Amino acid sequence: MAYTDRFRRPHAHEDLLGKLTDRKTGTFATMVEAMMFAALLGRRRGERKPFDQADEPIRLALMESRDYGEVLLDMLGAVECPDDPKILSADRQPERVLIFEEYANAGLSHLQTLINRQSDQDLDTIISNLVLEGLRTPPLEEEKDDVGDILASADLDW
Amino acid sequence: MKLLKLTLNNFRAFYSEQVLDLSVEEGKPAVLVFGNNGAGKTTLLNAFAWALYGTFSEDVEQQHRVIHDKAWADTAFGEDATASVRLDFEHDGTRFSVVRHVTVIKEKAEQEPVEPELTVTEIGTDGEAQSILNGQDRIEKILPKGLRQFFFFNGERMEKMFSGDVKREGEGKNQEVQKAIKTLLDLEAIERALEDLPKVSRKLASEIDSKEDSRLKQLSDHMDHLATREKEEVAEMLRLSSEISAFQKEVQSIDRALLQNREAEPLQKKRDSLTRRIKAAHDRHMEYKSRKRELLSRHGFLALTSGIDTKVIELADDMRERRQLPAGIQRSFIEDILEAQLCMCGREVREGTQEYVELDKRKYNAGLEDVQESWMRVSGKMKNLEERRQEILEQLTLNASDIQKADAEISELEAERSDVDRQLEGVNIQDVQRLIERRKNYASKETDARVAHKEAENKVTSIKQEAEATGRQYRKAEVKSEKARKVQEQVELVEKVRAALKEILEIKTEEVRDQLDKKVKEVFSRIFIKSYVPELNDDFELELHTASGVAIRSTGENQILGLSFVGAVSEVARNISARKKNRGEATIETGSGGVYPVVMDAPFGSLDLTYQEEISKALPALTSQIITLLSQSQARGKVLENLQQAANRMYVLRSYTPNQSAGEETIVINNRQVPYVSHGDFEHTVLEKVTF
């Protein structure tokens, strides 16, 4: 049974992750939290980004000990493969981890873009803006759902 | 005194020579001068007083800059620059020309204070000019400096007429004004006589020597001795008086400094408290910031789950909706049947049939027992997510407003603190102790001087009593020789004259006071509508009474009171002069000794229009010569009409400015546009006669 107890963090975003978790200026207390946020950000934008080069992986247990951290992988997996309920089975955990990693990678890239674009803003502001936007407006996927509805009405299962 | 001509030369705002013809006619006593703000009205007013007394009034800024800026700037280093004011006037039939001028060798770029020089020339009736050596004395005999503020005044500062510098501590009230009025009204001569008569007595007495009458000689010597002692004591009193006022001034200036420093103490405390509060607000700001971070770090990602939760719940529900298969049936088992289109019971399951569809439906759920629990767990967790997101939103909003409040508080407190800092500027807390020490020192010196003054005063009183007693003894002494008897008689006579003169002075002073009082009342009631009554008291102080006592005077009321007083003094002086003429006392028939001109800047100050009109009507009747400086806002409508009717001539202070962005202005006089502000090469003012 394939099983992993760690997730990878993309080497390409090593600097960014360092910045995000800087004791003085970073918004996130831990690398795990930064990755969790990045993953949800990537997911919200519907972007997954594979990567090969990784830095030292992080223990999954760290994520699981957090509020909603224990369902985060499942949650992402479930919405990522809606027609494949087995995605939540124990032996597909590596796949769920990969989904998480790739979303996180995409999320980090997006964050980097935002930081570059709004160099005058501090991290807290950029991130709280993202959070507030997430809380106040429906996700990008709505559009996709519209398409889904059309597809559904056309009796095309997917 | 009748003003004839004022000539300005490079004097402050006035470049080169500017002449103001001041002669007036009977019935047309006014000369009007119109001037823009800053054109030089106050300078012009001060030019009169400067010519006569060599000083500016306190409201003149940059007093040391007497020479016109351009004239000064054009002067090369090492060369002379000069400015002057010449005032020609007539008094008691004699023409005087007073020239006050400064000549400076330019050594620095900036002008520095200089002592102006005075030349007074007298042109007698025979046309012969003669320069007067003690010119300043002569001027002050004609127009005492103590009355300066009544004859050259700024309507906006009229309230100062009866307060401040005219009163001097330790000399009773309004001494200066009282003295000045006496000079003006010729009472001074009597006072001088009173002072001189005892000297006459002693001079007479000194003719007796001890051979003729040792007793009388003894008494006379004693009187001499007493007179010398009195003189010494009086001189000592004067010295002490000036010492007292010097110490007082020191104490006052220390008090002012202390007050500033004392003000600084609570300010310093306030500053400390503000600093503490700013720090606290900063701490709170930091606390909120870290709270925000914690929120974002721990729960931020949850904010991005909207949509995911509903999707997961939807999927889970969907799964539950599909019919369940008994546990243990593998998905691959059904897939095999559907693939083979043949059931394990041997029945055909053809694609498209009801059976096939049903089996296909169930295929989805088949073999999901192992994940079912996960789905239930995940979707269960999703149910609270919306609530959590609301919580986060609320907390973030609250946090944002907390931060904002803290920031607002910080900037408010910082603004307050910088305000305090400004107030604290230039205050040295450590000076306070030193100041208090110095104050104590001067205060005790002042007390000592006061005690000494009182002692001297007592001594003078007892010397006077002794002198009087000695005088009586002298006059009553049995004399031996004929010569001594004669002298004794003469001294007795002088003493009688002195007593009579004293009485006369009292009566005359009271008479003058009474006349002035009546006149002030009359002039005042002409202008003022309230039922207030002005009164000149025994100390020559002007009070304003209502039915219920002394009125509290407003600025406007003070102005009217001041004008009334000026008018009254001038008129009483005129009457006295006229009476003297009738009695043949005045030496020259054309004498104008008792007539005084009034030069006023902004005569209406801040008065209401009603009063402006009344005053403009009353002014021409106040005295025989009025030079009035007006701004455009003061010269309008009815007021201007009244003034013009009384005006003999009019001038405009035309100001030239190189500032091209300043608009050129005109003033309407007699329905004619007269240039008022014009563009020129440099800043200066020109006196232009308005013909009409």
Picking from A64-78, A97-111, B53-67, which range would have the lowest pLDDT averaged per residue? B53-67
Euclidean distance between CA atoms B293 and B520, whole angstroms: 81
Q: Does B361 touch chain A (CB under 8 A)?
A: no
> Closest Cα of chain A to B61: distance in Å?
51
Split at pLDDT 50, 70, 90, the class of A49 is very high
The predicted model gives B28-54 an average pLDDT of 88
CA dist list (Å): B145 to B102, B141, B152, B586:
21, 9, 11, 23
> Closest Cα of chain B to A125: distance in Å?
10
Predicted confidence (pLDDT) at residue B398 exceeds the cutoff of 90: yes
pTM above 0.80, yes or no: no
Whether A135 sits inside 8 A of B371 (CB atoms) is: no
Q: Does B321 touch chain A (CB under 8 A)?
A: no
CA angle B535, B537, B543 (to 5 degrees): 45
3-state per-residue secondary structure call for B495-510: HHHHHHHHHHHHHHHH
Q: Which amino acid is at B684?
A: H
Are B547 and B531 in contact by the 8 Å Cβ rule? The answer is: yes
Using DSSP, state whether B683 is helix, strand or coil.
coil
Q: Which residues of A touch B285 (CB under 8 A)?
A: none
The kind and range of the H/E element at B92 are none
The count of C-alpha atoms lying within 13 angstroms of the C-alpha of A123, restricted to the half-sphere facing its C-beta, is: 23
Euclidean distance between CA atoms B368 and B331, whole angstroms: 8
Higher pLDDT, B478 or B289: B289
Are B18 and B8 in contact by the 8 Å Cβ rule? The answer is: yes
> Closest Cα of chain A to B379: distance in Å?
8
The count of C-alpha atoms lying within 13 angstroms of the C-alpha of B20, restricted to the half-sphere facing its C-beta, is: 32
Q: Which residues of B touch A128 (CB under 8 A)?
A: 292, 296, 300, 396, 400
Tokens of residue B551, six digits: 């009125």
Tokens of residue A39, six digits: 């993953």
The kind and range of the H/E element at A124 are helix A123-136
Q: Which residues of B touch A136 (CB under 8 A)?
A: 393
Specify the pLDDT at position A50. Answer: 93
Whether A138 sits inside 8 A of B312 (CB atoms) is: no
Chain A and chain B share a number of CB contacts under 8 A equal to 129
- In tens, the pLDDT along B404-449 reads 999 999 999 999 988 888 877 766 666 677 888 888 899 899 889 9
3-state per-residue secondary structure call for B247-277: HHHHHHHHHHHHHHHHHHHHHHHHHHHHHHH
Whether B298 sits inside 8 A of A37 (CB atoms) is: no
Instruction: For residue B539, count other CB atoms closer than 10 A to its CB.
Output: 15
- Average pLDDT along chain B: 81
Closest CA to B149 of B177, B126, B121, B191: B177
Whether B304 sits inside 8 A of A141 (CB atoms) is: no
Q: Which residues of B touch A75 (CB under 8 A)?
A: 305, 308-309, 312, 378, 381-382
The predicted model gives A119-135 an average pLDDT of 89
As separate numbers, helices (DSSP H) first and strands (DSSP E) second, chain A gives 7, 2
Euclidean distance between CA atoms A112 and A100, whole angstroms: 18
- In tens, the pLDDT along B507-520 reads 888 887 888 888 88
Specify the pLDDT at position B173. Answer: 44
Using DSSP, state whether A63 is helix, strand or coil.
helix
- In tens, the pLDDT along B81-119 reads 999 999 999 887 789 999 999 988 888 888 888 889 999
Whether A85 sits inside 8 A of B368 (CB atoms) is: yes
Whether B292 sits inside 8 A of A124 (CB atoms) is: yes
Higher pLDDT, B613 or B17: B17
Are A31 and A17 in contact by the 8 Å Cβ rule? The answer is: yes
Higher pLDDT, B557 or B306: B306
Q: Which amino acid is at B588?
A: I
Q: Does B300 touch chain A (CB under 8 A)?
A: yes
Whether B304 sits inside 8 A of A33 (CB atoms) is: no
The predicted model gives B5-26 an average pLDDT of 91
Contacts of B17 (CB under 8 A, 6+ apart): B7, B8, B9
Picking from B2-16, B144-158, B461-475, B481-495, which range would have the lowest pLDDT averaged per residue? B144-158
Contacts of B315 (CB under 8 A, 6+ apart): A78, A79, A82, A85, B375, B379
Predicted confidence (pLDDT) at residue B169 exceeds the cutoff of 50: no
Q: Which residues of A touch B311 (CB under 8 A)?
A: 78-79, 82
Split at pLDDT 50, 70, 90, the class of A149 is very low
Whether A138 sits inside 8 A of B378 (CB atoms) is: no
> Closest Cα of chain A to B287: distance in Å?
13
**What percent of chain A is modeled with pLDDT above 70?**
85
Split at pLDDT 50, 70, 90, the class of A11 is very high
The predicted model gives B670-683 an average pLDDT of 85
> Closest Cα of chain A to B302: distance in Å?
8
CA dist list (Å): B89 to B22, B48, B96, B148, B456:
9, 11, 5, 16, 44
Closest CA to B619 of B600, B633, B634, B632: B600
